[in-house]
Amino acid sequence: MAAHPRVVVFGGTGHFGARICRRLAKEPGLELVVTSRSLARADSLVSEIHDDGGLATVTSAVVDQNAGDLASQLKNLKPTVVIHTAGPYQGQDYRVAKACIVAGCHYVDLADGRQFVAGFDVLDAEAKAADVVLISGASTLPGVSSAVVDEIRGRFQNIERIETSIAPAHQTPRGLGTVRAVLSYCGAPFDTWCEGGWRTVHGWQDLRWQRYPSLGRRLSGACDVPDLALFPDYVRGVRTVSFHAALEAPWEQLGLWAMAWLTRAGMVRDWTKLAPRFSAMSKRLIRFGSIRGGMQLRIEGTGLDGKARTCHWHLVAEQNHGPEIPCTPAIVVAKQLLEGKLSKSGAYPCLGLFTVAEFMQDLSGFDVSVRLVEGG
Ligand SMILES: NC(=O)c1ccc[n+]([C@@H]2O[C@H](COP(=O)([O-])OP(=O)(O)OC[C@H]3O[C@@H](n4cnc5c(N)ncnc54)[C@H](OP(=O)(O)O)[C@@H]3O)[C@@H](O)[C@H]2O)c1
């Protein structure tokens, strides 16, 4: 690790940001800066962490990513790595990453905005010139999904189909940034790679059932995520890439499907304005569901023996530990940067930067398990 490694967490009081801060605070020798637009909110988390006996040195700072002097504010904080969790990234520009280039520090984000992550390499030349590493999408998608693909791809001559789905537990609290993100593409058209060509689907439509070994059957809808743009290049020869989110409550899933129709009919243009109301409503209804969530990738293709092969990778998170999943890639990648293990300067998406074993190792202490089933 660098002499005085310092991690600055943007959006440190958020749903995922606070979890990342609590976990990084357990790292001895680390200096952690929790940022918020409100000093009171940041201080409150810092005291909670101090009360829990964190091993890192933890302080707070006020930062608004819309500030005109963001780069100099960042420079004053002297970060080694910035973790940017202040989504939604859909529609956001690269100002935080650009400020990191100016400040000469590394950058990691949790972005799930398809254009945001797929277009991130536009910063590559500037990042290389500044000798910094900028990573986008260090989260479930495409961080964990690409690690799973890499673990499994050696079993195939060629992969033809990758179907990913996530089934969050109903009782998992949802941050406003995530609610805004999932509403941003409700009813919006986007392209998915289907049977070797691009096909248009609409956000939260393309309804289909998913069967999860530990969760049972869940209705799911299509979401616009970075993997849909990245995997057709990342996995040469793949003919179909899909992603669906399977909410636990079918009425929630059907509600989003109906809202998508209202958008398609031109009756509602932008649902994100109602995100605070949806967030409040989901808090009131939170008790009507379980604390168990999951994720799965179904990968089909031709095995090494030339025969059709299917691999089914499952993750189950018990006790409401699901929200630790999107946080873990950012933590793993930030640690790699601090330890100098990720030294290829430039700006790129989080594809294949860690293994499933490394991901699971950082999750030890949480009730999360994974399983690979052949032919499942
Ligand atoms: N790629 C993936 O697989 C994946 C998975 C899950 C989530 N995500 C993404 O992760 C993001 C974070 O989600 P979340 O649920 O944690 O959101 P959240 O709870 O709303 O947290 C975001 C935090 O950012 C801070 N913030 C907002 N505007 C800011 C600004 N202008 N400048 C600085 N800070 C600002 C806010 O803190 P203050 O109000 O205290 O400033 C807020 O608490 C979302 O965009 C979500 O889509 C990605």
CB 170 within 8 A of CB 251: no
Coil, strand or helix at 56: coil
CB 29 within 8 A of CB 6: no
Based on the fold, state whether residues 46 and 105 are members of the same structural domain: yes
Ligand 1 pocket check for 140: Cβ under 6 Å: yes
Ligand 1 pocket check for 112: Cβ under 6 Å: yes
Residue 116: inside a domain, yes or no?
A: yes
How far CA 299 is from CA of 207, 251, 320, 375, in Å, comes to: 20, 29, 27, 10
Which pLDDT band holds residue 194 (cuts at 50, 70, 90)? very high
Based on the fold, state whether residues 148 and 258 are members of the same structural domain: yes
How far CA 362 is from CA of 51, 61, 146, 314, 370, in Å, comes to: 23, 27, 17, 18, 14
Which atom of ligand 1 is closest in space to residue 88's alpha carbon? 45
Ligand 1 pocket check for 141: Cβ under 6 Å: yes
Coil, strand or helix at 54: coil
Mean pLDDT, all residues of the chain: 95
The alpha carbon of 83 and the centre of ligand 1 are apart by a number of angstroms equal to: 11
How big is the CA angle at 172 (ends 354 and 320), to the nearest 5 degrees?
A: 65
The alpha carbon of 172 and the centre of ligand 1 are apart by a number of angstroms equal to: 16
Range of the domain at 148: 141-322+365-374
The alpha carbon of 234 and the centre of ligand 1 are apart by a number of angstroms equal to: 27
Q: At a CB cut-off of 8 Å and minimum separation 6, what does 29 contact?
A: 1, 5, 55, 56
From 8, 10, 36, 60, give the residue whose CB has the most ligand 1 atoms within 8 Å, as the site to mutate: 36
**What's the burial of 134, exposed, middle or buried (CB within 10 Å: 0-12/13-18/19+)?**
buried
Based on the fold, state whether residues 175 and 297 are members of the same structural domain: yes
Q: Residue 21 above 70 pLDDT?
A: yes
Based on the fold, state whether residues 225 and 198 are members of the same structural domain: yes
Say what the pLDDT of residue 258 is.
97
The alpha carbon of 337 and the centre of ligand 1 are apart by a number of angstroms equal to: 22
Residue 99: inside a domain, yes or no?
A: yes
Residue 1: inside a domain, yes or no?
A: no
Residue 257: inside a domain, yes or no?
A: yes
Domain of 278: which CATH number?
3.30.360.10
Kindly compute the dihedral angle of the four CA atoms of residues 166, 171, 175, 178, in this order, to the nearest 10 degrees.
20
Ligand 1 pocket check for 89: Cβ under 6 Å: yes
Q: Residue 375 above 80 pLDDT?
A: no
Which pLDDT band holds residue 116 (cuts at 50, 70, 90)? very high
Q: Residue 128 above 90 pLDDT?
A: yes
The alpha carbon of 358 and the centre of ligand 1 are apart by a number of angstroms equal to: 25
| Nearest residue (CA) to ligand 1, atom 6 | 326
Tokens of 334: 């930030």
Based on the fold, state whether residues 123 and 203 are members of the same structural domain: no
* Mean predicted confidence (pLDDT) in 324-339: 97
Of 67, 1, 2, nearest in space to 35 by CA: 67
CA atoms of 2 and 314, how far apart (whole Å): 36
Based on the fold, state whether residues 254 and 105 are members of the same structural domain: no
CB 246 within 8 A of CB 218: yes
Based on the fold, state whether residues 192 and 265 are members of the same structural domain: yes
pLDDT per residue as tens digits for the range 34-75:
999 999 999 999 999 999 988 899 999 999 999 999 999 999
Counting the structural domains of the chain, the total is: 2
CB 332 within 8 A of CB 24: no
CA atoms of 46 and 33, how far apart (whole Å): 9
Based on the fold, state whether residues 309 and 330 are members of the same structural domain: no
Q: Residue 2 above 60 pLDDT?
A: no
Based on the fold, state whether residues 33 and 132 are members of the same structural domain: yes
pLDDT per residue as tens digits for the range 311-326:
999 999 999 999 999 9
Based on the fold, state whether residues 214 and 263 are members of the same structural domain: yes
Q: Residue 299 above 90 pLDDT?
A: yes
Ligand 1 pocket check for 201: Cβ under 6 Å: no
Residue 109, CB-side half-sphere exposure with 13 Å CA sphere: 27
Say what the pLDDT of residue 3 is.
62
Based on the fold, state whether residues 206 and 112 are members of the same structural domain: no
Q: Residue 189 above 90 pLDDT?
A: yes
Based on the fold, state whether residues 209 and 339 are members of the same structural domain: no
Residue 59, CB-side half-sphere exposure with 13 Å CA sphere: 12
Domain of 33: which CATH number?
3.40.50.720
**Residues facing 201 on adjacent strands:** 190
Between 2-11, 31-40, 328-337, the lowest mean confidence (pLDDT) is in 2-11
